[in-house]
Amino acid sequence: MSMATQAPSRRDASTSSIKPRVLIVEDETALVELLRYNLEQSGFRVSVAYDGEEALASVQDDVPDLILLDWMLPLMSGIEVCRQLRRQTATANLPIIMLTARGEEGDRVRGLDAGADDYVSKPFSPTELVARIRAVLRRIRPALADEALSYADIVMDLVGHRVTRASKPVHLGPTEFRLLRHFMEHPGRVFSREQLLDAVWGKDVYVEARTVDVHIRRLRIALNGEQQVDLIRTVRAAGYALDATPG
Ligand code: CA
């Protein structure tokens, strides 16, 4: 029977950053609880599988953003779980950090050979482990390592230059992208056209103030689609703001 705790796969876009979900695969309950506590404190969502088969079943149900995979597991070793995940298209690039009591160089090489992205020997400090998780995510899933901005239901991946609203892709030109980024970095703040020109186009570029209006209009059309709430507020005689609060 699967004991995996399934967190919802939908990303919570109402918070200031995306919370990545980590699947802990470990049979030692005390260590699981220690890891769960530290990861949740560090802003991750956590699911748990207590053996190798349960881990594969859990990933099949819902692919996490990263797996912390213990080497010594009942039923199937962590190495075998890692190999199987690497063989499947959906999980071929899933970030995996192996945990192990073994600290020998040969084991480290075997773990990395099996496809793990990193390898942490027990005992480890939770702080170091969290740093390693962030490093692996930054390398493999930059959008999940604080290199994304979110506001209301808009998510901006600053590395992949992708924007979604309510999980649907939004296609923006380069100027609209920079404009939205500026708003997302300062939500709620009103910017005059001149301030937006300086911030988005640059101080040395001569562009008429009404150009800002043109790009704001394009940004609105791209973001709002047919029926989304308009999150860009026009402030008469002052400028524009990204603002989800009504009125
Ligand atoms: Ca174990």
pLDDT tens figures, 29-73: 999 999 999 999 888 999 999 999 999 999 998 889 999 999 999
Q: Indicate whether 25 belongs to any domain.
A: yes
Residue that terminates a domain, selected from 140, 167, 182:
140
Residue that terminates a domain, selected from 140, 164, 181:
140
How far, in Å, is the centroid of ligand 1 from the Cα of 77? 9
State the average pLDDT over residues 220-241.
89
How far, in Å, is the centroid of ligand 1 from the Cα of 95? 19
Taking ligand 1, which is a single-atom ion, which protein residues have CB atoms under 5 Å away? 27, 70, 72
How far, in Å, is the centroid of ligand 1 from the Cα of 84? 18
63 and 171 in a common domain: no
How far, in Å, is the centroid of ligand 1 from the Cα of 99? 9
**By mean pLDDT, which of 3-12, 109-118, 147-156, 210-219 is the weakest?**
3-12
- Given a cut of 70, whether residue 246 has pLDDT beyond it is no
The mean pLDDT of the chain is 84
Cβ-contact 132, 109 below 8 angstroms: no
Task: Write down the pLDDT at residue 10.
Answer: 36
Task: Write down the pLDDT at residue 78.
Answer: 93
- Given a cut of 80, whether residue 113 has pLDDT beyond it is no
- d(CA 6, CA 178) in angstroms, rounded, equals 36
How far, in Å, is the centroid of ligand 1 from the Cα of 2? 18
CATH number of the domain residue 86 falls in: 3.40.50.2300
Strands (E), 10-115: 21-25, 45-49, 66-70, 96-100
Residue 203 pLDDT grade (very low, low, confident, very high; cuts 50, 70, 90): confident
Phi-psi category of 237—alpha, beta or left, where left has phi over 0 and alpha has psi -120 to 50?
left
- Given a cut of 60, whether residue 16 has pLDDT beyond it is no
- Given a cut of 50, whether residue 14 has pLDDT beyond it is no
- Given a cut of 50, whether residue 25 has pLDDT beyond it is yes
- Residues 194-199: contacts with CB within 8 Å, 24+ apart? 195/239, 196/239, 196/240
- Provide the residue range defining the domain that includes 181: 148-242
Residue type at position 59: V
Percent over 90 (pLDDT), the chain: 44
Handedness of CA 58, 43, 141, 33 (dihedral sign): negative
- Percentage helix, strand, coil for the chain under 3-state DSSP, each rounded to 5: 40, 20, 40
Cβ-contact 114, 205 below 8 angstroms: no
Tell me the per-residue pLDDT of 73-102, one tens digit each, with 9 for 90 and over.
998 999 999 999 999 888 888 999 999 876
Q: Indicate whether 7 belongs to any domain.
A: no
User: Would you give the distance in Å from CA 214 to the centre of its chain?
Assistant: 32
- Given a cut of 50, whether residue 156 has pLDDT beyond it is yes
**Token output for 70:** 């213990």
| Residue whose pair of structure tokens reads 């992205």 in the numeric block | 117
Residue 225 pLDDT grade (very low, low, confident, very high; cuts 50, 70, 90): confident
How far, in Å, is the centroid of ligand 1 from the Cα of 19? 26
CATH number of the domain residue 209 falls in: 1.10.10.10
